[in-house]
Chain A
Amino acid sequence: MNSFNRHVLSAAVSAVLLGLGGLAHAENTIKIAVAGPITGPVAQYGDMQMMGAQMAVEQLNAKGGVNGKQLEAVLMDDVCEPKQAVAVANQIVNDKIKYVVGHLCSGSTQPASKLYEDEGILMITPAATNPDITHQGYKMVFRTIGTDDQQGPTAGNYIADQIKPKNVAVIHDKQQYGQGIAEEVKKTIEAKGFKVALFEGVSKGQTDFSALCTKMKSANVDFVYYGGYHPELGLILRQCREQGFDAGFMGPEGVGNKDISAIAGPASEGLLVTLPADFSADPANASLVKAFKDKNQDPSGPFVMPAYSAVQIIVDAIKGAKTEDPVKLADYIRKHSFDTPIGKVAFKENGDLKEFQFVVFKWHADATKTPVK
């Protein structure tokens, strides 16, 4: 390398360093990273999360922000890939952001949460439901959604008490979230004396399920529980119905999305889905729902209000604890309760909500849903 190049390089390096230093000093905003899938097959859920968090930031800023500072939502795309989630978490650490709302998929939340715990960053996930996430003994990890060991029994009990099938198949996508909840459901229905005839995993991104449909049909399966997300279940429904397999189907909140009707069409009619209660139907949230509708957004998605609540809890804690130190905030959050759009919430020692309800909905071909009594 000649000396001219070396000079240019060192000038460039120092410019970068100076630039970063400059940024660190110019902090008069409080940054909250919102991490989830913005692209990829399950980006629809990311939309719900981003929408809820951004609305919270906007409304709280309109009320004057926190301690005279404005909030800023920094959107980060993890594509629901564990690998990408770690890269995003590293970026959050490097950018010195102290609060995270996310991640969305359990599989990506788990590896990211380790970094947040180690670096003392406060993380509240509005969507990841796998129980393991809060069973790691971490102090910085919270969630504003229920867990699969609440959701699984809700689904399992409904199957056992209401449907009473003769021959159940439990299928999952081999991912942390899908397989986790499928196992919970299997455990619940087996405890109630029902036999699970088939317990099998499909692959994420698989598109041909015709062999599986034929297998379930010839095994005389009359009810199927699917643990996973909508792209696979949509195709399973479509291909199974086409083969004339007419068993009932049920899935967790990961399948409750408009796109399942776009993929499966008429085959999505009658699908049962366990979802958080529809917070947008709560009269206490009427003005918030109107704010979403004014922006042409749909507040009824399962993760919108939990994401809004996550941001609000961070802000309320900063105000209440009179500090911006995430470690002290985590302590404060554990000891206090908060009034949010998902109700009055308080946390257990491990970061889970003390109470959370899942409700069974019936899905319709026009992508609407109605609660099942």
Chain B
Amino acid sequence: MLEFFQQVINGLTLGSIYALIAIGYTMVYGIIGMINFAHGEIYMISAYIGLITVTALTVQFGVENVPLILLFTLAASILATSAYGWAIERIAYRPLRSSPRLIPLISAIGMSIFLQNYVQIGQGARDLSMQPLISGGWRFGSDAGFQIYLSYMQVLIAVVTVIFMTALTLFIARSRLGRACRACSQDLTMTNLLGIDTNRVISLTFVLGAALAAVAGVLISLHIGKINPFIGFDAGIKAFTAAVLGGIGSIPGAMLGGIILGLSESFASAYLRTEYKDVVAFSLLVLVLLFRPTGLLGKPEIEKV
């Protein structure tokens, strides 16, 4: 029984990361109806920034205060990746705003390949690794020698995820810009006619998505401690799946989708075989889409005439 709870902890940790990345996909889709395939690369870049900043702070400057390192790294990473998110939209998508839907999609794939190679040239194609900044945790319960282990890092991932999700939800629900975002997602042309600078709102969406991916990237470089320029692809595909599972365009949906995906992977490797974890995750996606084509929390698209 304790083993089950341990697997829940494992799955929630994994799911939190997926959820943070999935929000970037879902927000962009919600507003301009395109899939930003370069989003996984944003996450990868932030993992690099995270690892480099932590290493620089601890090794170069000898900073030992862990919360300070964490705050500084998060801030640096969010700032830098927000700039990337903004620039990608400006360079690769805005000029194509009025072209057919397929064109920005191809542009996004191109951007994704470009960013992978860009990091590969700048940082080398080899794995970078780092020893844990935060180690240790709590052990409790004992069932025939099996103890549940909850690491400080796992708690940190959950707490940080909840904080940023809550902040985002409040921002979208309460602030002026958030209201503009919601308006844009309902009808972009109409919002524009009503005097809202939709280009600014779209830029903001990219920046917010990138900021959350930055949080995920920093957390993953602290948690896993091994990164390379290609981690964005896998994470991107999983997060995209999570977004579709939860209902693309819906922010709570992306959160739910990420958690479900993380838990299903964890349970599949625990109770079936490790080989089947992706099979189970994607079968689940197919099943959900068969019965709810718009995902778990997605709203059916109203035909705009």
Chain A residues with a Cβ under 8 A of chain B: 39-41, 43-44, 79, 171, 174, 200-203, 205, 207-208, 210-212, 214-215, 217-218, 220, 231, 234-235, 238, 242-244, 259, 262-263, 265
Query: Could you say which residues of chain B place their CB within 8 Å of the CB of A41?
Result: 126-127, 228
Q: Which of A40, A171, A202, A243 has the most CB of B within 10 A?
A: A243
- Distance in angstroms from A107 CB to nearest chain B CB is 17
- Distance in angstroms from A49 CB to nearest chain B CB is 15
Question: Which A residue sits closest to B150, measured CB to CB?
Answer: A243
Let me know if B14 is at the binding interface, CB within 8 A. Answer: yes
Let me know if B147 is at the binding interface, CB within 8 A. Answer: yes
- Distance in angstroms from B12 CB to nearest chain A CB is 11
- Distance in angstroms from B1 CB to nearest chain A CB is 10
CA–CA, A39 to B137, complex, Å? 36
Let me know if B186 is at the binding interface, CB within 8 A. Answer: no
CA–CA, A90 to B126, complex, Å? 25
Is there an interface contact between B139 and A244, defined as CB atoms closer than 8 Å?
Answer: yes
CA–CA, A203 to B269, complex, Å? 12
Let me know if B265 is at the binding interface, CB within 8 A. Answer: yes
Known contacts A207-B231, A210-B266, then 16 further A-B pairs from the complex at CB < 8 Å, ordered by chain A residue? A39-B126, A40-B126, A174-B275, A203-B278, A207-B224, A211-B267, A211-B277, A215-B269, A215-B270, A218-B2, A234-B129, A242-B137, A242-B149, A242-B151, A243-B149, A259-B129
Q: Mark B136-165, 1 if CB is under 8 A from A, else 0.
A: 010100000111010100000000000000
Is there an interface contact between B274 and A201, defined as CB atoms closer than 8 Å?
Answer: yes
Query: Could you say which residues of chain B place their CB within 8 Å of the CB of A208?
Result: 10, 13-14, 224, 265
- Distance in angstroms from B51 CB to nearest chain A CB is 12
Residue in A201, A202, A215, A263 whose beta carbon sits within 8 Å of that of B225 in the complex: A263
CA–CA, A206 to B296, complex, Å? 27
Query: Could you say which residues of chain A place their CB within 8 Å of the CB of B274?
Result: 171, 200-202, 211-212, 215
Question: Which B residue sits closest to A213, measured CB to CB?
Answer: B10
- 8 A Cβ contacts from B112-143 to A: 120, 124-127, 129, 131-132, 135, 137, 139
Is there an interface contact between A211 and B234, defined as CB atoms closer than 8 Å?
Answer: no
Q: Which of B10, B132, B265, B275 has the most CB of A within 10 A?
A: B10
Query: Could you say which residues of chain B place their CB within 8 Å of the CB of A201?
Result: 273-275
Query: Could you say which residues of chain A place their CB within 8 Å of the CB of B11?
Result: 211
Is there an interface contact between A218 and B266, defined as CB atoms closer than 8 Å?
Answer: no
Let me know if B3 is at the binding interface, CB within 8 A. Answer: yes
- Distance in angstroms from B88 CB to nearest chain A CB is 24
CA–CA, A41 to B146, complex, Å? 34
Query: Could you say which residues of chain B place their CB within 8 Å of the CB of A218?
Result: 2-3, 6, 146
CA–CA, A262 to B226, complex, Å? 9
A-B contact pairs, 30 of them (CB 8 A): A39-B126, A41-B126, A41-B127, A41-B228, A43-B125, A43-B126, A171-B274, A201-B273, A205-B231, A207-B224, A207-B231, A208-B13, A208-B14, A211-B11, A211-B265, A211-B267, A211-B277, A212-B274, A214-B3, A215-B3, A215-B274, A218-B2, A235-B225, A235-B226, A238-B132, A243-B6, A243-B149, A259-B127, A265-B131, A265-B132
- Distance in angstroms from B139 CB to nearest chain A CB is 7
Is there an interface contact between B234 and A205, defined as CB atoms closer than 8 Å?
Answer: yes
Known: A200-B274, A211-B277, A235-B224. A263 touches B129 (CB 8 A): yes
Known: A205-B234, A218-B146, A243-B149. A211 touches B129 (CB 8 A): no
CA–CA, A44 to B125, complex, Å? 11
Let me know if B93 is at the binding interface, CB within 8 A. Answer: no
Is there an interface contact between A210 and B10, defined as CB atoms closer than 8 Å?
Answer: yes
Chain B residues with a Cβ under 8 A of chain A: 2-3, 6-7, 10-11, 13-14, 120, 124-127, 129, 131-132, 135, 137, 139, 145-147, 149, 151, 220, 224-226, 228, 230-231, 234, 265-267, 269-270, 273-275, 277-278
- Distance in angstroms from A206 CB to nearest chain B CB is 8
CA–CA, A234 to B130, complex, Å? 12
CA–CA, A311 to B252, complex, Å? 61
Query: Could you say which residues of chain B place their CB within 8 Å of the CB of A43?
Result: 125-126
A-B residue pairs, 6 tightest by C-beta: A39-B125, A210-B10, A218-B3, A211-B269, A211-B266, A200-B274
Query: Could you say which residues of chain B place their CB within 8 Å of the CB of A217?
Result: 3, 146
- Distance in angstroms from B6 CB to nearest chain A CB is 5
- Distance in angstroms from A201 CB to nearest chain B CB is 5
CA–CA, A242 to B3, complex, Å? 15
CA–CA, A208 to B7, complex, Å? 12
Question: Which A residue sits closest to B230, measured CB to CB?
Answer: A205
CA–CA, A243 to B270, complex, Å? 15
Question: Which A residue sits closest to B5, measured CB to CB?
Answer: A214
Is there an interface contact between A244 and B265, defined as CB atoms closer than 8 Å?
Answer: no
Query: Could you say which residues of chain B place their CB within 8 Å of the CB of A174?
Result: 275
CA–CA, A244 to B6, complex, Å? 12
Is there an interface contact between A234 and B226, defined as CB atoms closer than 8 Å?
Answer: yes
Question: Which B residue sits closest to A200, measured CB to CB?
Answer: B274
Query: Could you say which residues of chain A place their CB within 8 Å of the CB of B224?
Result: 207-208, 235
Query: Could you say which residues of chain A place their CB within 8 Å of the CB of B146?
Result: 217-218
Query: Could you say which residues of chain A place their CB within 8 Å of the CB of B269?
Result: 211-212, 215
- Distance in angstroms from A246 CB to nearest chain B CB is 11
CA–CA, A312 to B70, complex, Å? 53
CA–CA, A173 to B84, complex, Å? 34
CA–CA, A200 to B275, complex, Å? 7
Is there an interface contact between A231 and B7, defined as CB atoms closer than 8 Å?
Answer: no
Residue in B125, B129, B145, B151 whose beta carbon sits within 8 Å of that of A262 in the complex: B129
- Distance in angstroms from B293 CB to nearest chain A CB is 29
Query: Could you say which residues of chain A place their CB within 8 Å of the CB of B129?
Result: 234, 259, 262-263
Residue in B7, B147, B234, B275 whose beta carbon sits within 8 Å of that of A244 in the complex: B147
Question: Which A residue sits closest to B139, measured CB to CB?
Answer: A244
CA–CA, A211 to B263, complex, Å? 10
